[in-house]
Each structure stands twice: as C-alpha cells, then as structure tokens.
Amino acid sequence: MEVESVMCECCGLTEDCTQHYISEVKANFAGKWLCGLCSEVVSDEVSRDRKLMSVEEALNAHLSFCGKFKANPAELVADGMRQMLRRRSGDGLLPAKSKMLGRSKF
C-alpha cells in the first residue's frame, strides 16, 4: 500500500495516509480531506446540533473557526482537544479560547 502525505484543509496538520483512506474521508466531508481531530469536531457538530446542521454547514463553520487561528497546527490540535473534552464533560460554559500557559512566578 502506498502512503502519501496529505494536509488537513481546516487546520493545516499533515498526516501520512493511504489513498483509500483519503478517498473515504473526502467522500464523508464534501470532497475535503480533514485530519482525525477536525473530522471528529465536524461529526460532533452535526450529531449534537438541534437544528439538524448538515455536514457542509458544520464543515464551513469549522473551516471558518480554523481560519481565524491558523498560526500553529499543534496549538489548534490542543485547543480542539480541550474543546472536545469540555463538551463531553458537559462543561460547555467555560471559554473555548485557551490562555497561554507559562511558568508561575512563585
């Protein structure tokens, strides 16, 4: 099986995948390739939205979100994981925007 590098159209993260897997992901997300995290976020948005959001609407919303913060894919992955964990724990009231962590001065 041949493996190729492919870049997520949302966050810019690059993964090595087989052509078969890439084709499956693109078929599920309107012809766009998404990394595992972004595909989970879009799928989660579709399944939890009470207004029956379509895959394309959820994808466009996530693309818009990622476009605002495209500086560092690693930070996006960390923020995405943080948001997903907050949603799953039912603590959706906390602000989604992360704060830079640094050493304490004490």
Tell me the pLDDT of the chain (106 aa) as tens digits.
789 999 998 888 889 999 999 999 999 999 999 999 899 999 888 888 667 778 888 888 888 888 776 666 667 677 788 888 888 877 555 454 444 444 444 3
Query: Is 43 exposed, middle or buried, given 0-12, 13-18 or 19+ CB atoms closer than 10 A?
Result: middle
Of the chain, the end-to-end C-alpha distance in Å amounts to 54
Residue 13 main-chain phi, psi, to 5 deg: -70, 140
